[in-house]
Structure 1
Amino acid sequence: MMKQQKKDLKSFIILWTTQTFSTFGSSMTSYALIIWIYQQQGSALTMGLLTVCSYAPYVLLSMFAGAFSDKWNKKRTMLFCDSIAALGTIAAFFLLQNGQLMIWHLYVINSINGIMGAFQSPASDVAITLLVPKEYFQRTSGMRSFSNSLVTMLTPVIATMLLSFFSIKVVLLIDILAFCTAFIALLFFIPLKEPSDLTGEDTDNKVPVMDLIRDGIGFLKDNRGILELILFLSAINLIASMSDTALPALVLAKYPDRETVLGLVNGFTGLASLIGSIIVSVRMAPKNRIKVICTALFISMATENFILAFTDSIPIWCIGAVLGWLPIPFMSANMDVLLRENIPLNMQGRVYSVRNALQFFTIPLGHLLAGILIDKWFEPLMKQPTAILLLFGEGKGAGAAFLLFILGIAGTLICVYFSSLKKMRALG
């Protein structure tokens, strides 16, 4: 049985392993650049704009990119997009090497990466469906969640170590090496058929792009439960992205001379996700996936932000990270299976692209909004010595803590509301 599974999933395992290595390299680069930017400017807004530049073009182009993805060869699309993104890392390395790297350079590079990601993401999603037999969807979703969690856990640890003993240049070089590994594996060792090869139909190449986009939107209109699930995740992404900007603004402000503290908290985030992913990978499929998704997100929203807000204790911050992130693999794996099972293979590119636009547009909005609120409103507000505000500490970083408290309330209310929607719950 085990040998048969390995044979059935051989191409997926190669893709999964090498893409995980590539993602690890990119994540270390992003982490190192966040620290570099905060050291240069000390501003949450400047730091948040780095993510805005990645996600804004990604969201704006997602619908068009998915439609083109249904028309284009998936393998060639992935290879091209990854190559352009790698050129950005190479450019950053040489600018840094010559002492010419500036923050606006990173904004431009991240914008280009966002454009490439808009086209690469739906192609990659369809490629996974093409490579994985349906009976392995639950297991492979758990495996992908496991690798993402492993990256999350190892990124701050390895990146901090490299920054401490070497420099950010070494981080960039590892990112480039990881890309080369993934590129060669995809090019030479992963045979990837197109949906038309399996269905015998090739009509999408003759259909105008706007018609394909309308098909994707129309599918979600006709499947209200899936649309509600996507909007649920969109609202959660708004809260999560604001938290992602507030966390380094809190930790780096409270411990300005100890970069390892942020790495430690992020490391526990990854560890919690890793444990959750292992459980998801080995457990049986649940009877009600929507119930698992709603419960997981409620636990996450009702714990981490509150714990981060009310203490400066590093161990308690780590406990908050575990409580907030342990349930996330349960959510992501079950949502992944629900979408793959409910969206026809020949429509997945265009539907996933609409999903990406709706579900992820709140991420750049959240990073931008959190940066503005912390720098322009919450931090100045916390300089007023009122009893209630003193609950969140004093000095720089107290504003980020206050924002995290508000985000905890908002996230919990969002979970309660969406859990009551009948059509989403009917997905089962």
Structure 2
Amino acid sequence: MKKYITYLSLLMFSLMGTDLTDFALSIWILDQPDGSISLYSFVWFCEAAPAVFLAPVIGSLIDRWNKKKMIIYGQLVAGIGSMILMTLHYLGQLHPWHIMIVAGVGSIASTFVFQAFYVSTKALVPKDQLVRAQGLSSTLNATIQMGLPIVAPILYKLIGMSNIFLFDGITFFTSVIAFSILSFVVVEISSEKFSMKNDYKVVKEFIKQQKGFLYLYSFFFLINFLVGLITVLFTPLILDFSNEYVLGLVLACVGVGSLIGGGAMASKKTFNNPIQIIIWANVFVGLILISFFIQVNPWILGIGGMMILALISVSAIVNEAFFQTVVPTKILGRLTGFSGFFIGTAAPLSFLLSGFVVDQLNHFFKANTIDFMNHFPGTSITTSIVVVFVIAGSLLTILSLIYRRNPNLKKLDALYKIALEKK
């Protein structure tokens, strides 16, 4: 467990620089004269889509390549991307399309890094400690998410975008040097020749043995799509009626939710009925989103976001521990890759759609005076985003309750129990 904590801390230090840059870039894009919700959401799409589309290839390579080298080279590529953006910004030539390209390449590199570490976790941590390990990972990530939103707006104003890029590069390269020096755990590598066709057959055969996986993947696709709408719209929602400093405080409050969820799971070794836990967590996320229609202000968004992130953290931790427990290590990368492609396409699609929907609703509310519009602060953009939140929350609640009754998903809970009992 000590080695796991060491490696995890290095990756989180690297992630801290990435998150700081992402936060500052989101403000920078919205501050541009031609900035819009559609442009902002399209940048998110460009960051997410490449890694999703290449997920099966990445997963197959992870099962066959040296995990330590993948972690090192992946961080190097991402760090170089930050240096390129820093140079362009310093020269006054940085444009949103530059960010889209670098973010896309960076997302591919980061996927290699974190998927390689994810697969390595089974070799670093005993099976009965996987839940605790994922909880610890979530807790460390939450600590970053709490602090950065407060610090980032201040740093953005004090040191500027170029120096934030520089800090991002320093965190990347520090982690790379440390991983290069430290010895890494030996992880089982598949000796099969690279073949996407054969890999698909391997994954298909594994899923065929448990039909519940197909239903689980379809559930995750729908959930990721609906949650993606919330994720991309949260920042422009707050900035519409407030400023970047209030945004930082709200996001810091939201980050406490991840700390709560991660801390709660870090204290547990195992759990019963993981799939039911995931489903019920999403039911409550949906209900909280619906409640935003009652009132919207920084306090409500902070507390509501904190509760949502706590539930999402619990769901994610349980999900990761479930797959690490029931899936053999030698095919975990491939299964994660193919499922990541199917499930992962939901988020980029929602990023693309969210900006378009908000802009269309915004035009509608500008042209039509509706009573409930005066109930919300800010402009018609706030009203438009709240409407999207409520629709997403309603669908999330209904779909979760429908899937809860699926007998094939209930069988996966039994599969987890059997796998946990095996040594």
TM-score relative to the length of structure 1: 0.91
Whether 1:320 aligns to 2:304 is: yes
Whether 1:58 aligns to 2:57 is: no
**Do the aligned residues in 1 keep the contact of 2:139 with 2:262 (CA within 8 Å)?**
yes
Other-structure match for 1:387: 371
Q: Which runs of 4+ in 1 moved over 6 A?
A: none
String of CA shifts for 1:21-61, please: whole Å, max 9, x gaps. Answer: 11111011111101100111341111111111111111111
Report how many residues are paired. Answer: 410
Whether 1:356 aligns to 2:349 is: no
1:284 Cα deviation from its structure 2 partner: 4.8
String of CA shifts for 1:254-297, please: whole Å, max 9, x gaps. Answer: 12xx2112212211111111022111111352222222212212
SS, match of residue 311 in structure 1: coil
Other-structure match for 2:320: 336
Other-structure match for 1:232: 219
Other-structure match for 2:407: 422
Question: In structure 2, what is the Cα distance between the partners aligned to 1:319 and 1:191?
Answer: 40
1:127 counterpart letter in structure 2: S
Question: In structure 2, what is the Cα distance between the partners aligned to 1:147 and 1:220?
Answer: 33
**Do the aligned residues in 2 keep the contact of 1:238 with 1:363 (CA within 8 Å)?**
yes
Deviates most, 365-374 or 292-301: 292-301
Other-structure match for 2:417: none
**Do the aligned residues in 2 keep the contact of 1:150 with 1:274 (CA within 8 Å)?**
yes
Question: In structure 1, what is the Cα distance between the partners aligned to 2:204 and 2:345?
Answer: 16
Unpaired runs of 5+ residues, structure 1, are 1-8, 197-201
SS, match of residue 234 in structure 1: helix
SS, match of residue 353 in structure 1: helix
SS, match of residue 335 in structure 1: helix
SS, match of residue 357 in structure 1: helix
**Do the aligned residues in 1 keep the contact of 2:296 with 2:376 (CA within 8 Å)?**
no
1:299 Cα deviation from its structure 2 partner: 1.2
TM-score relative to the length of structure 2: 0.92
**Residues 8-407 of structure 1 mapped to structure 2, 5 A cutoff:** 9-40=1-32, 41-196=34-189, 203-204=191-192, 206=193, 208-255=195-242, 258-303=243-288, 305-375=289-359, 377-383=360-366, 384-388=368-372, 390-392=374-376, 394-407=379-392
2:218 counterpart letter in structure 1: L
1:426 counterpart letter in structure 2: K
**Do the aligned residues in 2 keep the contact of 1:142 with 1:280 (CA within 8 Å)?**
yes
Other-structure match for 2:421: none
1:118 Cα deviation from its structure 2 partner: 4.2
1:340 Cα deviation from its structure 2 partner: 0.7
Question: In structure 2, what is the Cα distance between the partners aligned to 1:246 and 1:222?
Answer: 39
**Do the aligned residues in 1 keep the contact of 2:250 with 2:301 (CA within 8 Å)?**
yes
CA separation of 1:188/1:309 partners in 2, compared to 1, >3 Å: closer, same or farther? farther
Deviates most, 23-32 or 382-391: 382-391
Question: In structure 2, what is the Cα distance between the partners aligned to 1:162 and 1:190?
Answer: 35
**Do the aligned residues in 2 keep the contact of 1:310 with 1:392 (CA within 8 Å)?**
no
2:152 counterpart letter in structure 1: A
1:395 counterpart letter in structure 2: S
1:165 Cα deviation from its structure 2 partner: 2.5
SS, match of residue 412 in structure 2: coil
Deviates most, 207-216 or 92-101: 207-216
1:142 counterpart letter in structure 2: G
RMSD: 1.8
Question: In structure 2, what is the Cα distance between the partners aligned to 1:322 and 1:312?
Answer: 14
Question: In structure 1, what is the Cα distance between the partners aligned to 2:346 and 2:100?
Answer: 19
Question: In structure 1, what is the Cα distance between the partners aligned to 2:386 and 2:398?
Answer: 19
CA separation of 1:213/1:122 partners in 2, compared to 1, >3 Å: closer, same or farther? farther
String of CA shifts for 1:232-274, please: whole Å, max 9, x gaps. Answer: 222111111111222222211112xx21122122111111110
Identity of aligned residues (%): 24
Question: In structure 1, what is the Cα distance between the partners aligned to 2:81 and 2:330?
Answer: 32
